[in-house]
Structure 1
């Protein structure tokens, strides 16, 4: 069927024009839907968190969704603890909370009200190294160094666990004290990944400190 003779457009041209107009009219709706409605958005919920970090009382007002790792790095500027995988799989963010090692990327800061937190900065200083830090230097227990803060914090906790009689998966007996064997230490340090592959040197450093303090 031909278009009426009084129309200046052909049928094909009319269809093209109609399709273009429909698309143009739909665009504002798509853009509007993609933009967040800030007028009705809730403000982040903030909470006061008081804890002790490396022997110093600290007080922060934080979004309740902030992880302990981000609180330490972004709010307290303690950047020794590293953000590696951010999924609790590499151990680069390991810190000590009330003497126990945890992955700081997997826990919220607000969960540790009143806790005593120790990061790599709190273990020792360049002129007064912790025994484990000195052992890592002595045995060349690092290469790039990215995982080293977490490795050292975890190693310090491992020795405390062994001394406390806490068994591991490879412990010979649940009621017998564990030894500082390479097998025992590898199992206990398995949550800390070293992409440079300095594992044998790390184990030697931990054994050195463990045997010296036994």
Structure 2
């Protein structure tokens, strides 16, 4: 593992540890390095490591055992690698992606609104603020990363590890479309208001409004992306 910088520090620690897990560097069932060891390796505070562990537990990657530390959960990654390979082999079209995203994310927003914690909503606000800043700079790679993070954080709020894993697969394959779309600044700008409306629905714990705003947002995403790729 490499030390991380101080921007969105908890998210970066989560991504770093998750990468070590998914790459096999830390095997299923293994105990993660201690909090103090990770503090030293990643150059972050102990409270940051603890928050990252909580996020990883919510996402289904680790199990926190009282007095024993954090252990990599057995989510049968072989099966998900098989699904991922199959997903690539069928080469889904844009419509396929958006239909699956629509099903996943409308389910996720309903569950997230029922189960989310205030600190998770605050982190979502921070991600959205960072996205707005990236729009002003038109940093395409950062826009794609933050957009994926925004939607994935909502899925993580469901506390459903299967839904999180399915979303990870779809998001990874959808990445190229995000980059292509955000290469046009107007497309990035058009995502700002829908994100704010989705966030507002979550803050109000209004599931009906949340589903409505996610559906409207994804409908606009399809229009913007089709214009870019010429479909």
TM-score (norm 2): 0.24
Relative to its length, the structure with more strand (as a share) is 1
Query: When you count helix as a share of all residues, which structure comes out higher?
Result: 2
Q: Which has the larger radius of gyration?
A: 1
Q: Tell me the TM-score normalized by structure 1.
A: 0.25
